[in-house]
Amino acid sequence: MAVGNDKLPHLLPVSGVRLATVSAGIKSAGRKDLVLMELAAASRCVGVFTQNAFCAAPVIVAKDHLQLSDNQPGYLIVNTGNANAGTGDQGIADARNCCAAVAQVANTEASQVLPFSTGVIGEPLPVELIADAIPAAVAGLADSGWADAAEGILTTDTRPKGLSVQFSCDGQDYVVTGIAKGAGMIRPNMATMLGYVATDAAVEIAILQKILSEATAMSFNRVTVDGDTSTNDACVLVATGAACNELLANADQPLYRALADAVQEVCVSLAQGLVRDGEGASKFVTVEINGGVNEQECLDVAFTIAHSPLVKTALFASDPNWGRLLAAIGRAGLADLNVDRVGLYLNDVLIAENGCRAVSYTEAQGVKAMAPENIVIRVELNRGEATASVWTTDFSYDYVKINAEYRT
């Protein structure tokens, strides 16, 4: 199950990035489960990573290699079918050995390779299978490999996620292309979601990190499928410099806003794609909170609603059980909340106000509002000017089935 259009848009090459997708047979024979990305010399790369204390071995190694390479790695390697998480010292060694295998074939240093993994937690990484597939991956590198890579990084996903954005600034053309995977264990807390975004702009490292951090704050950190933060979450942003522009070195340059907007557009599309492809999802739900004292309290209310199993099961049943929404708002931890001032809407239908059901509301209106696959839950707190939105799904029978059978 998934919500909305499942067609992957045309993904534009980014000069300076080549990709290949091959089969290593990690979980099943013949499935393309290994992606290699080659970054042109002088490309700059930054990342945001999971804040889960049990972060996976590849996260630890990728962060280390990012520092050792001065944020200028030459390769990214991504495997599916095995998360290499909860694997202790051996997992660290296995991640490093995968990097060394790439380095040997590509004639570079192991510290120039960033590893990423996704899949089952707690199982040893089949390093030999991965190493055996690397020569084919290196031989198959091509700048047109984005669509295959979007397929190759999937796990329980039912569809690939990707987007390209072109824009111009001061007469110079630029491109931003990104792909991501994730359908379950999705409540990224950046810093089993992986995202890769690249641009041909030349950007100084600190500015590149600022652009990525701002984009993830407004995209990947605003989604939740099941409230679980993966051990392996990571998103990287690469700037190859192939556009040969004047180096973007501060936020006052015109290119900063143009590039930041393009990167955020890509990240928001990818983040919403994760939700639309959430495990067992039949609804795409926007939880919009207005009139808060500050953004954080708006987010607190939004995520309390989005994480409620009672709300999510009502969404699956298309049941306008608005009492569950009021209960979630009330337990979100807002100090001195005046419930008589709160307004609750399903799409544009006023459900509750003045602490109780709205006089104008009818059950038929609620049923109609809950029927579409795209739903907006809107809460008007009426206690300030702040606003925030998050995106989530319903909980279906299929979500339980997928996760009950995940390791089989």
What is the set of active-site residues? 192
Residues 72-99, buried b or exposed e (16+ Cβ, 10 A)? Answer: ebbbbbbbbbbbbbebeeebbebbbbbb
Cα of first residue to Cα of last residue in the chain, in angstroms, is 19
Nearest to 357 by CA among 325, 401, 400: 325
Residues 6+ apart with CB under 8 A from 177: 11, 12, 13, 14, 146, 162, 163, 164, 165, 197, 198, 199, 266
CA 94 remoteness from chain centre: 25
| CA 392, 396, 398, 403 torsion-angle sign | positive
CA dihedral 23, 26, 31, 32 (to 10 degrees): -40
Q: How far apart are CA 231 and CA 229, in angstroms?
A: 7
Judged on CB neighbours under 10 Å (0-12, 13-18, 19+), 230 is buried
Kindly report the number of other CB atoms within 10 A of residue 296's CB atom: 11
Q: How far, in Å, are 88, 153, 166 from residue 36 at the CA level?
A: 25, 10, 24
Contact of 276 with 7, CB cutoff 8 Å: no
Number of helical H runs and strand E runs in the chain: 11, 15
Kindly report the number of other CB atoms within 10 A of residue 51's CB atom: 12
Q: How far apart are CA 250 and CA 31, in angstroms?
A: 44
Q: How far apart are CA 69 and CA 339, in angstroms?
A: 54
